Amino acid sequence: MAASRFIPRATFSYDRVINWFPGHMAKGLRVISERLNAVDLVVEVRDARIPLSSVNPNFERVVGRKPRLIVYNKYDLADPDTKGPVTRALKRHNTPVLFTSCQNDQHVRSILRYAASLADPIPQLNLMVVGMPNVGKSSLLNALRRVGVGKGKAAATGNQPGVTRSVVGTVKVLEHPAIYLIDTPGVMVPHIADPVRSLRVALTGGIRDHLADEQVMADYLLYELNRRHAHEVYTSYFGLSEPTNDIHVLLEAVARRIGAVVKGGELDLTMASKFLLKQYRQGKLGRFTLDDTEPDTLQAFFDKTQTPNLNQISSRRQEKKLAKLARRKEERQKRQHKD
């Protein structure tokens, strides 16, 4: 079968919902809510590879009307074409958004500049970083601290979610104006109704691998590579003569490539799956955005999930106040007319 005649799978069949909401996440959400009164700006970090699936609706409820900056992190791993449509969709809600990579100091400075612009005339600003697990919150905190005040790590980081398990102390990330930042544990959605969405979150590292099954994630990754006509990436990388829809064919090639052999000479497909996932997460298989970023999809999603911005809320309050005053005036005129 020549690559030019290869027909990728049209759909990916998956009906298992992966739910992961350990106790420290529920506690973290409560503490976030309790500490919001002392926060001037909420920095919500999302994963640029899954701009919709990394949105936690619980933050809309808890954060509510607090000023917010949305940061799509890991942009260096996402399709560059993601930025334009997502930015335009959020602009409709007057929601400020930045695309960042913690490896890019210019990206990090853009966050500090935005926060600093809110510090006038207030000489000090308190930020709180929130987001789903493993979107890079702690890495971002460390990058802000490194770029802003030239100091080392203040938060632990890791490849698997759940490293930050409690709200850490306040950390200074800029001297002038004084900006302090609070890191928080990643908080997962208690129930992800869409099975494929939960798989996307798992594939990008938001759910512990063993809960999602490494081979299933590898199969979904193969599906995504094939439907993007990116099969040359894995065929050349792992020595396949032609593309395939069969994950076992690919994993066997990966296992032979890395020498993943168990006792008796059998190939270790789980180890091969882990290696394949690692290559994807490090960007070695290309830059891919897994969510649909068509304008209509983005508009429908954000219209449903976004909290109205502060200007809209203020405007509605003003409208209600004016309507109330108008009713009172009308009632007074009626009473005067009767008298």
Q: Annotated binding site for GTP: which residue ranges?
A: 73-76, 134-139, 186
Closest CA relative to residue 11, chosen from 205, 219, 287, 277: 219
Tokens standing for residue 196: 């494929």
What is the SS3 assignment for 132?
coil
* Dist. CA 317–CA 313, nearest whole Å: 6
Question: Phi and psi at residue 21, in whole multiples of 5°?
Answer: -145, 75
Closest CA relative to residue 112, chosen from 138, 142, 140, 148: 148
* Dist. CA 177–CA 123, nearest whole Å: 6
Determine how β-strand 178-182 pairs with β-strand 171-174.
antiparallel
* Dist. CA 162–CA 210, nearest whole Å: 14
Which amino acid, one-letter code, is at 5?
R
Q: Which residues are annotated as a binding site?
A: 73-76, 134-139, 186
For 193, other C-beta atoms within 10 Å of its C-beta total 8
